[in-house]
Amino acid sequence: MAITTSNPQEVNKILDLCRKLAPHREEIGKNIRTMIMGIPNVGKSTIINTLAGRTIAVTGNQPAVTRRQQRINLQNGIVLSDTPGILWPKVENPHSGFRLAATGAVKDTAIEYDEVAFYTVEYLAAVYPERLKERYQIDEELPESDLEIMELIGRKRGALQSGGRVNLHKASEILLHELRNGTLGQLTLELPEMITKELVEVEIEATRKAEEKAKKKEERRKRYLKNKR
């Protein structure tokens, strides 16, 4: 069931779904036990507060706000276990890593902030150019390079340093914050066909690295045998 956390009516449909999935619990007078889980910074705490009708979970536009598990009685026949956000131990696809970082699911300290913004603006310029032009009041065609686009955004939003140079880190903050808070509108950063193509690339790169590692290992073995003689 697809919902948005900004619409309480949609969020409360979760309660009805839980009751349909476990009708026997209510029949015997027992609470329905549920758990909320997912990647960081996608609105899990906001959902909990909406379902409870009061502020229980701390919210924030950054990952790792929820740091421990807690059990919450919603006082409506449902007990909810809240859990911290989880991610894969290792994101093999670098594109997925950048997209997760762009949405704030990965801490800003995990990947160079400017690199994330440059990756993001390159994608937006290719797929959603009109959104960028409208938001940052750009009348001309977007420049071809991600650096030039970020410099243009910086100038339009006054992210300047002494001498009139663009503060690229500030421009990166502006872009990513406005992406995350929805100012740039509803965007799709990842499509199934993109993942299919990228996984092939990842597999090719993994094979290349494995072959390179095996080659170096064989070279070390030969040197060892030669020195042993």
Entry pTM: 0.72
pLDDT at residue 59, as a whole number: 55
Torsion, Cα 194 180 114 164, to 10 degrees, reads 130
Q: What is the spatial distance between Cα 171 and Cα 175, in angstroms, rounded to a whole number? A: 6
Q: Do strands 70-73 and 78-82 pair parallel, antiparallel, or not at all (unpaired)?
A: antiparallel
- Residue-wise pLDDT for 91-117, tens only, equals 889 999 999 999 988 877 778 889 999
Residue 221 CA to residue 61 CA, distance in Å, equals 52
DSSP character at residue 79: E
Q: What averages of pLDDT result for each successive group of 10 residues across the chain (229 residues)?
A: 85 90 80 88 85 73 57 86 81 90 83 92 96 95 94 94 92 95 92 91 90 90 77
